[in-house]
Amino acid sequence: MTKADIVNEISRSTGIEKANVLETIEKFMEIVKDSLAHGENVYLRGFGSFIVKTRSEKTARNISKNTTIIIPEHKIPAFKPAKVFMEEVKQ
């Protein structure tokens, strides 16, 4: 399912114009991205959490050049689904 599909489904089921639904979804994604960029997690009860994980420093190999490089510690965004969400998907 794409963002356009989501917009169409919400618009169809609620009667809200597609342009307003799209604007709302875009704003939601912007707020989530900004929050994660500032190190703040986003918790949506019954759905899940958008969190920032820290990956530790590690050593990797470049096979083509046969060299070793060090990948520094860095942060990545992640999604952790709620238990209710997981149970519904498993069925």
pLDDT, tens digit, 9 for 90 and up, residues 7-35:
999 999 999 999 999 999 999 999 999 99
Are 82 and 91 within 8 A, CB to CB? Answer: no
Q: pTM of the entire structure?
A: 0.79
Residues linked to residue 69 through DSSP beta bridges, in sequence order: 60
pLDDT above 90: residue 4: yes
Question: How far is Cα 77 from Cα 32, in angstroms, rounded to an integer?
Answer: 10
pLDDT, tens digit, 9 for 90 and up, residues 29-83:
999 999 999 999 999 999 999 999 999 999 999 888 889 999 999 999 999 999 9
Task: Tell me what pLDDT residue 6 has.
Answer: 96
